[in-house]
């Protein structure tokens, strides 16, 4: 579950995933944005072998290029 506002491009870049692959796994995010908040998490599909990396790098993912990709940054 993602509990912060994040752009799928941020995730793909930091996790070394093809953006289009991540996008295909998550068609419910039509604008490539996961609108997570601390009060409500949203599921994100990704390859199983990437999950440990996502957990370990979550702060890096959320902060990567945030000022350019996430309008709610700051």
Sequence-ordered list of residues with C-beta below 8 angstroms from that of 14, at least 6 positions apart, any chain: 57, 60, 61, 64
pLDDT at 74: 45
Q: Which DSSP state fits 39?
A: S
pTM for this predicted structure: 0.78
Mean pLDDT of 13-39: 94
Lowest mean pLDDT among 11-15, 26-30, 57-61: 57-61
> In the prediction, which pLDDT does 61 show?
87
Find the radius of gyration of the CA atoms of the chain.
Answer: 11
Tell me the pLDDT tens digit for each residue of 39-64: 999 999 999 999 999 999 988 888 87
Rounded Cα gap, residues 63 and 30, in angstroms: 22
> Residue 62, CB half-sphere, CA atoms under 13 Å: how many?
15
CA 25/CA 63 separation, integer angstroms: 22
């Amino acid at each position: 579950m993602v509990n912060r506002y994040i752009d799928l491009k941020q995730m793909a870049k930091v996790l070394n995933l093809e953006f289009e692959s991540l996008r295909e796994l998550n068609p419910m995010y039509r604008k490539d944005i996961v609108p997570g908040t601390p009060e409500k998490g949203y599921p994100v599909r990704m390859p199983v072998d990437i999950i440990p990396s996502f957990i370990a790098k979550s702060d890096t993912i959320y902060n990567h290029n945030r000022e350019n990709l996430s309008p709610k940054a700051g």
